[in-house]
Amino acid sequence: MSLLNNWKIHLIALVLVIISEMIGMKKIPVGPGVLLFLPMLYAMILGGVISWPKMKVITTGEMKHATAVLSLLTLLLVTKLGVIIGPSLAKLAEAGFALSIQELGHFFGTVVLGLPIAIALGLGRESVGATFSIDREPNIAIIAEKYGLDSAEGRGVMAVYICGTVFGAIWVGLIAGFLAALQIFHPYALAMGSGVGSGSMMAAATGAIVAVFPDQKDEILMYAGASNLLTTMVGIYFCLFVSLPITNYLYKVLTPILAPKRVRDGGISK
């Protein structure tokens, strides 16, 4: 049984949990905002260091097991958010329209900010794969089917996927905490924004917002949970039928304007 063969992973996870929770939350003021360091951040970073191949603590096989465990465990977060939503389902329904519309922000946000930057940096067709979505597993499947993973688009989606694994949660957690501490957005809006469609990124962002607004914890978790569920459910179809065609169209329009000269002349683009 794979659990017994990979006991080391679980033992290390136990140690990480104990150490991280003992350190507790730390706040470092930066300009008008705050950089928030939560136990989950230490756990992620310490885990990352331990998993470094040069450390030779855990094998690739054990890391694969950890990946399988991780995809199951995000369901535990989903359950926790679900039991919070239950009693206030009516309240959530009141915000149903706002919740649905903000999903457009999730789906187009990656393109709006990412695509112009990718094109300007000279990434060519990789830009499309990299920015059409948040590039988690379901999105990789879309690109794999349409272009194949050895295409430029496939390289783009895989590169952002790997960045997501390595620092996605850390980054999203830090910017969410920073923005929350600035107090320019309402905690409910930030909560909805957290539902980006990746379990660990959603957890990091939501955790940071809760830490800044502890009084509104249940509402924040409720909106974040509902938003994340919507992003996950609608995401696959939206990315396939709307985001990808639009990203392709914008790529054609923006490349002549933004791409560095060598790319425009060189034919990296189609």
Partner 1 sequence: MNWIENIAVFVVAGALAVVAAIVGFKIPVMDAVIGSAILVVITLIGILVARIMPGNLPMVFWVSIIAILSTTSISPFAATVTKYTAKIDFLAICTVVLSYAGLTVGKDLDMFKKMSWRIIVVALAVYTGTFLCATLVAEIMLHLEGII
DSSP conformational letter for 166: I
DSSP conformational letter for 147: T
Mask for 97-136, x = binds partner 1 (CB under 8 A): xxx-xxxxxxxxxxxxxx--xx--xxx--xx--xx--xx-
Q: Does 45 bind partner 1 (CB under 8 A)?
A: yes
Q: Does 44 bind partner 1 (CB under 8 A)?
A: yes
Question: What are 215's two structure tokens?
Answer: 């009084």
Q: How far is the CB of 256 from partner 1 (least distance, A)?
A: 19
Which 49-108 residues touch partner 1, going by CB under 8 A? 49-53, 55, 58, 60, 62-64, 66-70, 72-87, 89, 94-95, 97-99, 101-108
DSSP conformational letter for 40: H
Q: Which residues contact 234 (CB under 8 A, 6 or more apart)?
A: 103
| Chain position carrying tokens 């304007």 | 257
Size of the site for partner 1 (CB under 8 A): 131
Classified as helix, coil or strand, 184 is coil
Kindly indicate which of the ranges 11-19, 28-36, 142-150, 249-257 contains the residues binding partner 1, using the contact rule CB under 8 A: 11-19
3-state helix/strand/coil string of 34-88: EEEECHHHHHHHHHHHHHCHHHCCCCHHHHHHHHHHHHHHHHHHHHHHHHHHHHH
Question: What are 77's two structure tokens?
Answer: 């977060």
Q: How far is the CB of 204 from partner 1 (least distance, A)?
A: 7
Which 129-158 residues touch partner 1, going by CB under 8 A? 130-131, 134-135, 156
Q: Which one of residues 233, 253, 266, 270 is an interface residue with partner 1 (CB under 8 A)? A: 233
Kindly indicate which of the ranges 29-37, 146-154, 160-168, 247-255 contains the residues binding partner 1, using the contact rule CB under 8 A: 160-168
Paired with 37 in beta bridges are: 26
